[in-house]
Amino acid sequence: MTTKLFLLMTAMTLSGLAQAANPLLEKYNTPYETIPFDKIKNEHYLPALEVAMKEHNKEINAIVNNSKPATFENTVVALEKSGALLTKVTTPFFNLLGAETNDEMQQIAQKVSPMLSEHGNAITLNEKLFARVKAVYETKDKLKLTAEQQMLLQKSYDRFAENGANLSDKDKETYKQLSKDLSMLTLNFGQNGLKETNKWSLQITDKNLLSGLPQDVLDMLAINAKKAGKEGWVLDLKATTYGPVMKYADNRDLRRELYIAYSTRNMLGGEFDNVENVRKIANLRLQMAKLLGHKSYADYSLVHRMAENKSNVYDLLNKLLMAYKPAAEKEYAEVLEFANKKGAYFKVQSWDWSYYSEKLKAEKFDLNDEMLKPYFELESVKKGIFGLATKLYGIKFVKNTTIPVYHAEVDAYDVIDEKGKLISVLYTDFHPRDGKRSGAWMSEFKGQWLEGKKDSRPHITIVMNFTRPTETKPALLTFDEVTTFLHEFGHALHGMLTKCTYESLSGTSVYRDFVELPSQIMENWGPEKAFLDGFAKHYQTGEKIPAELIQKIKDAENFNIANFCLRQLSFGYLDMAWHTIEIPYTGDVIHKEKEAMSSTQVLPVINENSMSPTFNHIFSGGYAAGYYSYKWAEVLDADAYSVFVKNGIFDKKTAASFRENILVKGGTEHPMVLYKRFRGQEPTIDALLIRNGIKK
């Protein structure tokens, strides 16, 4: 019932395995009471979880059995503070399940997931507990609560009402089973994706087949082979291999083989197949939504989103489609014409798009990743992005080697303000591993809250899958990777700078279609000369990135932007298609997907592939009926950044306003209230269209 990580002094007298020394149940004797990763072992999780659930149940019973009338403090605040030990146990487990997992952890997750689902249901379906929360809620107009207290009360009430508290006893049992089944299915979905990605590899012994690949990519593939005890080069489906092969490999057959392998994961049968899981998850979500009185899962999910309903979601997607598709068709025609001129007498397919687009970009703008990478050495980029936060918000980052980390590649930092006061702890984890899922994300190991005069500061982590260093070169990033770093760092700032009373409202605990604003706005600084001049230097010569190269980045900023937008829209339409069904879907998964994405297609459709079985965002992550959020927030970030452009991209007054009205506030008020307080008006789509060159 809380996301807090209270660090407790525990003197447990419980019997059995729980009595044995278990670091998860003890006070952390580490800097800032950070998690002692060096002491935690897999066998600690399950017994600690059992103890923590018992402790949580005691806390809930104390609230329920309180003989005094329900008040905001003795019920709502007490509920907010309950479950601290449980959060302390589950937070490191689930973070590492994504960033540094192994077979044993995945087996533990299979046991833990239904236990937690059952535990959570026992609380949200507790009639006496809901009665106390409801009693406070019904007197809310007389309580003279602050805006944050009002929000906590509303969220507390909704947490029960929207999770089955008003159901009949029979329907409550149905709800319990549905949520338990869903927790297992979504867990399996994500695990299948990681396992299927890890099991595929392709050994190449003829270097000619790898023609076109940059030397550092070849070095990386050679390291893969060496680790596998094989000759030559080994390709895999990680982003650091897949992206460069699609972009640079001259061998069309190789590109096609990798593309088909990547885009048919989890759909060709076998133990990791997710096709049936797609149907099951979508149908179970529909059943749950109907049980709670909604026509579809989207109707249920969008109640607490800025978009509010599916009509507004489709309105945004359709407007963007109309604005961008004509430009996308022109972009495709240009790439096709270019490819044909280069002797490619065929239609440009999905496995050709990046390859010929990259060559066209190089010809039009005299720019490619290999020209830029020497100026984006990872350590320099890190200093540049940290330095941007210093310029905007006055915070500094000091590496702290005394803080335990969960892998040798992870670094930990003290984040301090101008007076040297701790703002946050930040962990950074940059490179792909077999135990790490694909993509990039921000999370927290500990949230933030206020209690009396104590401001308990957060512990934040950013996890990515960037190009590794080789035996001859440091980690050199593509410009896309620099942009990804900025994006996740924006989420981190949202988590680090927050200052709220209640942890369940702090940091990134905001509406899903608002949470991407702080991340996406940071991407705007990426191509700015004033930003790049501060850190982008050649890793060998120390030469500052030339002004003409920065100008080329700016000139190429909107290259094929319309096709990129349509790709995002296609995911949004697919997400909504699965979550607006009003009767259980029993048809063909691939057919439904093709139908949902058809309006966005510009490139030839590949009939044998499918996105749905690997769509972790919606079937394993938290973006069900919410993938549109990226485009929704893009409208917000373009509009918000226009204020920085007007006042100066490092303007401290503008940054202070963004910090105080957006980053600090978390979910304490409605996001549109916060946004208007910063911007002075509601956003419009115009700033995004102008930034992308769609509208003059």
pLDDT digits (tens, 9 = 90+) for 29-43: 999 999 999 999 999
What average pLDDT does range 615-629 have in this prediction?
95
What average pLDDT does range 290-302 have in this prediction?
97
| Count of structural domains within the chain | 4
| Residue among 198, 335, 322, 339 nearest 272 (CA) | 198
Helix (H) or strand (E) holding 372: helix 369-372
pLDDT at 228 over 60: yes
What average pLDDT does range 165-170 have in this prediction?
96
pLDDT at 495 over 60: yes
Cα(571)–Cα(627) distance, integer angstroms: 7
538 and 465 in a common domain:
yes
75 and 28 in a common domain:
yes
pLDDT at 9 over 50: no
DSSP string, 304-370: GSSS-SHHHHHHHHHHHHHHHHHHHHHHHHHHHHHHHHTT--S---HHHHHHHHHHHHHHHHS--HH
Residue 20 has a pLDDT of 61
Cα(494)–Cα(473) distance, integer angstroms: 33
Q: pLDDT (tens digit, 9 = 90+) per residue, 546-572?
A: 999 999 999 999 999 999 999 999 999
What average pLDDT does range 343-353 have in this prediction?
95
Question: Any idea which residues carry the catalytic annotation?
Answer: 488
Q: pLDDT (tens digit, 9 = 90+) per residue, 665-687?
A: 999 999 999 999 999 999 999 99
Residue 690 tokens, joined: 């102008």
Which CATH number characterizes residue 26's domain? 1.20.1050.40
Q: pLDDT (tens digit, 9 = 90+) per residue, 429-439?
A: 999 999 999 99
Mean pLDDT of the chain: 95
| Residue among 527, 535, 540, 543 nearest 649 (CA) | 527
Residue 676 has a pLDDT of 97
What average pLDDT does range 155-166 have in this prediction?
95
The domain boundary residue, chosen from 230, 263, 296:
263
What average pLDDT does range 102-116 have in this prediction?
95
Residue 188 lies in a domain: no
Residue 331 has a pLDDT of 98
Which CATH number characterizes residue 470's domain? 1.10.1370.40
Residue 2 has a pLDDT of 37
Q: pLDDT (tens digit, 9 = 90+) per residue, 300-333?
A: 999 999 999 999 999 999 999 999 999 999 999 9
Cα(313)–Cα(326) distance, integer angstroms: 21
Please list, in sequence order, all residues whose beta carbon lies within 8 angstroms of the beta carbon of residue 28, skipping any fewer than 6 positions away: 7, 34, 35, 36
Residue 1 has a pLDDT of 40
What average pLDDT does range 43-63 have in this prediction?
98
pLDDT at 5 over 90: no
Residue 577 lies in a domain: yes
Residue 16 has a pLDDT of 42
Residues in the chain: 696
pLDDT at 17 over 90: no
432 and 363 in a common domain:
no
Cα(352)–Cα(339) distance, integer angstroms: 9
Q: Which residue has the tokens 């197949």?
A: 273
Hey, how many other C-beta atoms are within 10 angstroms of the C-beta on 304? 15
What average pLDDT does range 421-425 have in this prediction?
98
Q: Which residue has the tokens 């809310």?
A: 140
The domain boundary residue, chosen from 114, 143, 162:
162
Residue 101 lies in a domain: yes
Residue 9 lies in a domain: no
Instruction: Write out the residue range of the structural domain in which residue 235 sits.
Output: 200-263
119 and 55 in a common domain:
yes
635 and 546 in a common domain:
yes
605 and 591 in a common domain:
yes
544 three-class SS: strand
Helical residues (DSSP H) of 533-651, grouped into ranges: 547-555, 561-579, 589-597, 616-619, 629-647
Residue 405 has a pLDDT of 98
Rg (CA), the chain: 25
469 and 550 in a common domain:
yes
Residue 38 tokens, joined: 């060096």
What average pLDDT does range 165-189 have in this prediction?
96
Residue 8 has a pLDDT of 34
